[in-house]
Structure 1
């Protein structure tokens, strides 16, 4: 009986020693520090209908402007299971540097591309991006069933062509 107790307690003692002697691996918001002008990564993630969050597509499945080449970010198992599909963008955002009205690209949409955007707008698609692991959401566009003027009749579909980023830093102790 003494040997059985030793066999059971030895792995428990080893596990306890390893648990308390291994360096802890914790993450927090304070782990990343940027200096003024440092590049802060912005990744596009996914698009999908707001009313069905499990139905998602890659961001560039819609005909947005994209970098050449599109580089997929290596993801953790949790990100993969969550349906994340992170990829690089054309946006160049630097820490604590203001930008005003920068054009990423100019693109004439083909009929099929207009139809893709129209379907996304009708289905109330949102997009998701990550700015230094901070999730950012927005809508692809909006539908207006009635016009604001008397002379215009019918449904109007608006594609949001401009994205405005306002990020603020919080003071530290």
Structure 2
């Protein structure tokens, strides 16, 4: 399967990406020399505290659904609320997008232009909370024991949490990029 599907799709995607790549077009005039970023920021505006806040709020939107999903996947129960699951997923995307955009707005307001990676990590930090919840579920709610079950569970949950991190990081970055392009295209830049 890897040889016949994944590898050719990767090569085709690389060729298309290489042939259609373009430079980033800033909506206003920029300089090559970056501005100096203020160093004295309060603790609640630092990277780590904003990652915790931006990860916890979207996680709280999916906490209840996550319990039912874990119970159905790892606890052999039947999950029947797929409509609510789709609504919770859409709510997760919207909350992640809004939280990331608002944090990037505050960051730009204090003249810190290094928002690219922070937007990705702010959006993706929900994946760390999902992995933390997997520990809570394993030790408090599940009946699993033994080395094989534990390694299987935590290995799969690490991959799933990483996928959440990448997916929500992408959502946070794209929403922040769209927001930054919009606000700088509306403003008069000197």
Range class of TM-score, shorter chain: under 0.3
Tell me which protein shows more helix as a share of its residues.
2
Normalising to structure 1: TM-score of the pair? 0.26
- Whichever of the two has the greater Rg, that structure is 1
Structure with greater strand share of residues: 1
Q: Pick 1 or 2: higher relative contact order, CA cutoff 8 A, min separation 6.
A: 2
